[in-house]
Amino acid sequence: MFPAAALLLAFASDSTPTPRAPSATEVHDAVRRAQALLLAARESYAEGGGRKRPERASAPQPAAQPGPAREWPYEGVYRVAGDIPLGYRVGGTAIAAVALLEAADGAPAGEARAAILGALDFVLEALGDPRLGPEFVQGYDVRGWGHAYALELLLALRAAELVPEERAVAVEAAIDRLVALLAQTEIGERGGWNYSRPQGAASDPSTFMTAPTLLVLFKARAQGEQVDARVVERALATLEAARQDSGAIQYATRAERGKGPRPEAVPGAVGRMAVCEVALHLAGRGSVERIRGAVSAFFEHWQWLEQRRKQTGTHVPPYGIAPYYFFFAHRHVAQAIEFLPEAEREGWRTRLHALLWQVREESGGWNDRVFPRSESFGTAMTVLALVEPHRPRPAGWSSAAPAAGPAQEK
């Protein structure tokens, strides 16, 4: 892969001009500004409005709004009857709320705390909707993103001891249900998850979706939840099967390795390689060397991601990179950097921050889509990338179950 000597050589021989990296003070100020942007971007999303964009929380709320502004719906090209699907609304809201929580080092106050608890209420209510049940609609269905990131939010709030007493029973029930839903919605005996399942139970698992879902399930078991080990082991096996000799990770695990189109090449895979290698490493199926290779590949081929940022379409040739990989990739590369030897981390962090500042919006936020609303997602993922060095290491997975209790992961 990329041993330390090769890594240093790569730095020394790289003739590409490096954009200016922000100072520690600038990073701190950017996180504070991003918090304000997220708070101002809360919505009360009205279904049935087609593609009309609802008013932001900072503007006067018209009478037609269905309730308080407490969500950050993720917006993509996929719609259901003209509306943003509920899985995207829940997933986007959970990601933004976790970013606010982490930006406050687990102790939010004032408006940030109120916004997070409002998001909690929205998520709990949405989880009772049949559209977030286990009945996956064959073809394309993004409810799994809602399941995974809702679970991440609930676990984070429980670990931070921020769940209001009057919501405690509902949160515990929702955590149990979400763990069960992820087990129910795995892809048959193949393992893993996918939001695009044209063949239903016979569809290929998505590595892009499987790896972050595993990280959430690892965290759930670290907090004492009863996670089905067979589900996790099948998902890990499908990630392993997706590895290519080049270090690339298949977009969707197929039986014939290396037989896929160009999206299976390293430039098309750098958006998912880091999170997959981190998940495998945490389960004893990877290595620091593999993680280093994924991080190095991200920087080497970053320009291919940049070419697709804020563009129309999704999996466009030559490498099939979709715009929504952009900040997802940066957030998980930041996570992967923290698994490298301490002496290497600061150099990689500096390079990552420089790239993030290169694509920062005039508003102070970040957006990888053509939709103004998706700035909340890009900003939240960037905040998580920026605070990653100060976060606890993600929970791991082993064949032996850990002791029960939320304190396990702290």
Contact yes or no for 337/385 (Cβ under 8 A): no
Residue 247 CA, chain-centre distance (Å), reads 21
Q: SS3 for 252?
A: strand
Q: What is the 8-class DSSP label of residue 301?
A: T
* Helices 168-184, 110-126: inter-axial angle, 10-degree rounding: 50
410 residues of the chain, pLDDT tens digit each: 333 333 333 433 344 456 789 999 999 999 999 999 999 999 999 998 654 444 344 433 333 456 899 999 999 999 999 999 999 999 999 999 999 999 999 999 999 999 999 999 999 999 999 999 999 888 899 999 999 999 999 999 999 999 999 999 999 999 999 999 999 999 987 899 999 888 777 789 999 999 999 999 999 999 999 999 999 999 999 999 999 999 999 999 985 544 444 458 999 999 999 999 999 999 999 999 999 999 999 999 999 999 999 999 888 889 999 999 999 999 999 999 999 999 999 999 999 999 999 999 999 999 999 999 999 999 999 999 999 999 999 999 986 555 444 433 43
Backbone angles phi, psi at 66, to 5 degrees: -80, -10
* Measured distance CA(92)–CA(378) in Å, rounded: 10
* Measured distance CA(379)–CA(103) in Å, rounded: 12
pLDDT for the residue numbered 59: 38
Helices vs. strands in the chain: H and E counts, helices first: 14, 2
**Stretch (H or E) spanning 139:** strand 139-140
Burial 114-140 (b: 16+ CB within 10 A, else e): ebbbbbbbbbbebbeeeebeeebeeee
Q: What is the 8-class DSSP label of residue 321?
A: B
* Measured distance CA(399)–CA(61) in Å, rounded: 51
| 408: in domain | no
| 407: in domain | no
| 297: in domain | yes
| 404: in domain | no
pLDDT for the residue numbered 18: 62
Sign of CA dihedral 384, 388, 393, 396: positive
Contact yes or no for 345/292 (Cβ under 8 A): no
* Measured distance CA(348)–CA(363) in Å, rounded: 26
Which residues span the domain enclosing 255?
4-12+19-399
Residue 122 CA, chain-centre distance (Å), reads 19
CB within 8 Å of 183: residues ≥ 6 apart:
227, 228, 231
Amino acid 357 reads W
* Measured distance CA(209)–CA(396) in Å, rounded: 18
Amino acid 72 reads W
* Measured distance CA(351)–CA(16) in Å, rounded: 12
* Measured distance CA(213)–CA(42) in Å, rounded: 25
| 193: in domain | yes
Sign of CA dihedral 173, 175, 178, 182: negative
Side-chain half-sphere exposure of 127, counting CA atoms within 13 A: 30
Residue 179 CA, chain-centre distance (Å), reads 17
Contact yes or no for 211/275 (Cβ under 8 A): yes
* Measured distance CA(142)–CA(78) in Å, rounded: 9
pLDDT for the residue numbered 264: 80
**Stretch (H or E) spanning 197:** strand 196-197
Ordered alpha helix ranges (H), 41-85? none
| 212: in domain | yes
Contact yes or no for 18/302 (Cβ under 8 A): no
Tokens of 188: 């048959």
Tokens of 303: 């320009």
Cα–Cα distance list, 288 to 1, 5, 174 (Å) = 10, 14, 35
Which domain CATH number covers 338? 1.50.10
| 410: in domain | no
| 211: in domain | yes
Tally of domains in the chain: 1
Instruction: Write the Ramachandran bin of 244: left for phi over 0, alpha for psi from -120 to 50, otherwise beta.
Output: beta
